Structure 1
Amino acid sequence: MNTGNSVRIDEQVVLVTGGARGLGREIVRAFGREGALVVVNYRRSAEAAADLVRELGADRAVAVRADVTDDDEVRSLVEAARTHFGRPITTVINNALADFEFNGDARPSPETLTWADMEGQLRGAVKATLATTQATLPGMREGGFGRIVNIGTNLFQHPVVPYHDYTAAKAAALSLTRTLAADLGPDGITVNMVSGGLLRTTDASASTPEEVFDLIASGTPLRRAIEPAELADAVLFFASPWARAVTGQNLIVDGGLVKG
């Protein structure tokens, strides 16, 4: 199966954290469309996860509950996925978002920001990525192949709204992406990030005023906000054979708002 560290998407077992709703749901659908076996991770959205499994087919997808900031729950998730599909997870999409709402009026200001705010986002963006990486590494090394794709943000390049806690955590996740890429490359494992702008529309962006979407869209060459399915397609690239020589990179998918 593994030729030149290249495995077709339809031969991969893909874990999508936070996969039941929003961007995660579109990432699950994208991999399902390409024939992958998909593990739909969820924390509270059991019904949405079950609906998604029915949509893809029980032979191609399985829903597994886990809080991905909890090491023990992540290890149990990985074991359950291997038992269900009879082979280890090859590909991890770290998409789960700690409880957050893109509402500039409600965001913590520099005067009200607390370390608890920061810590919550760091747990979701960094601790969870470390947990899923450590839990899936044995299986990836066993097959000599692995793909890890972390979901980031363009806000640390262009803080159109200064969400301090969320943005700092995603910046830390990019650093972890690059250091993991350096360490895991010899094992045939690539680690990359896909950074979106404000997506139209997910649960997290549902409270964003329409004028903010319009402002962002007006600054892009495409003159529109990006949809979750469009970012999901970019995630597929990093998992595909076409990206076999790409690691430690951050691909910005925001309609051209941020350059580089």
Structure 2
Amino acid sequence: MQLAEQTVLVTGGGRGLGARIVAAFAEAGARIVINYRSSGAAAEELATKFGPEQAVALQADVTDAGQVAELFRRAEAHFGGAVTTVVNNALADFSFNGDARSGAASISWPEFEAQFSGSVRGALNTTQQAIPGMSGQRFGRIINIGTNLFQNPVVPYHDYTAAKAALLSLTRTLAADLGPHNITVNMVSGGLLRTTDASSATPEEVFDLIAASTPLRKVTTPEELADAVLFFASPWARSVTGQNLMVDGGLVMN
């Protein structure tokens, strides 16, 4: 299925990286469901930019299965068909400020629970709601947003990194389970992005240090990561599933 034929749900799509992913799909001609939890004004403004025939902003907390079911019902009613593509981008509240992180001696289990709920429960909820529609049309693309930190923990964000590592495992088991339905499941893992809402607290010297450590001598932008998301949704990736693509300027090489 060509990108212009797809109906794409981007969770956490109202701002930051999610908004860049929404814009990239819109430029490719896709229909987009811009999911948000609390960034209603930003999501509505983004949807207005592309118009109601191409974009709709819908509120839902993806950690709540009931709200996700209603999200899919409204999305399918708006566009008159099933969601073909899900980008699990929503992130539990988190600030990438290494100096303020919880260290090993002080981090609490509720901090882990919050991240696991946002990354793993959220992705499970959207995937389960998407399966009937994707299976019915024998086409589906699920793209999870990960991180390079579990392979290169330059800053020990224990809770965030553990949750994203679990999401990678879920990505691979879902790929094995859903492949017979022609549903692919992949992950795109960036490093520190310059700049999103989550990385706005990162000191400038950290950006400079990471840039100097990459072969490309630069920090990846949200737009560059969005390009990789589109690849996994495109026909060029039709035989790719269960994979994790690092988009970090070569900082981590697999």
TM range (shorter): over 0.9
Q: Distance in 2 between matches of 1:160 and 1:58?
A: 42
- 1:218 is aligned to 212
2:17 alignment partner, one of 15, 23, 26: 23
AA aligned to 1:54 is T
In the TM superposition, what is the alpha-carbon distance from 1:28 to its structure 2 partner?
Answer: 0.2
Q: Distance in 2 between matches of 1:255 and 1:183?
A: 32
Q: Distance in 1 between matches of 2:120 and 2:211?
A: 29
Equivalent residue runs for 1:71-86 within 5 Å: 71-86=65-80
Q: Distance in 2 between matches of 1:42 and 1:129?
A: 14
Equivalent residue runs for 1:1-260 within 5 Å: 7-260=1-254
3-state SS in 1 of match to 2:186: strand
In the TM superposition, what is the alpha-carbon distance from 1:102 to its structure 2 partner?
Answer: 0.1
Normalised by the size of structure 1, how large is the TM-score? 0.97
Counting matched residue pairs gives 254
Q: Distance in 2 between matches of 1:46 and 1:12?
A: 24
3-state SS in 2 of match to 1:110: coil
Q: Which deviations, in whole Å up to 9, do the C-alpha atoms of 1:74-109 show, x marking residues without a partner?
A: 000000000000001000000000000000011110
Runs of 5+ consecutive residues of structure 1 not aligned to the other structure: 1-6
In the TM superposition, what is the alpha-carbon distance from 1:210 to its structure 2 partner?
Answer: 0.3
In the TM superposition, what is the alpha-carbon distance from 1:144 to its structure 2 partner?
Answer: 0.6
In the TM superposition, what is the alpha-carbon distance from 1:237 to its structure 2 partner?
Answer: 0.2
AA aligned to 2:87 is I
Q: CA RMSD in A?
A: 0.4
Q: Distance in 2 between matches of 1:155 and 1:82?
A: 35
- 1:3 is aligned to none
In the TM superposition, what is the alpha-carbon distance from 1:56 to its structure 2 partner?
Answer: 1.3
Normalised by the size of structure 2, how large is the TM-score? 0.99
Q: Distance in 1 between matches of 2:160 and 2:17?
A: 16
3-state SS in 2 of match to 1:105: helix
AA aligned to 1:41 is N
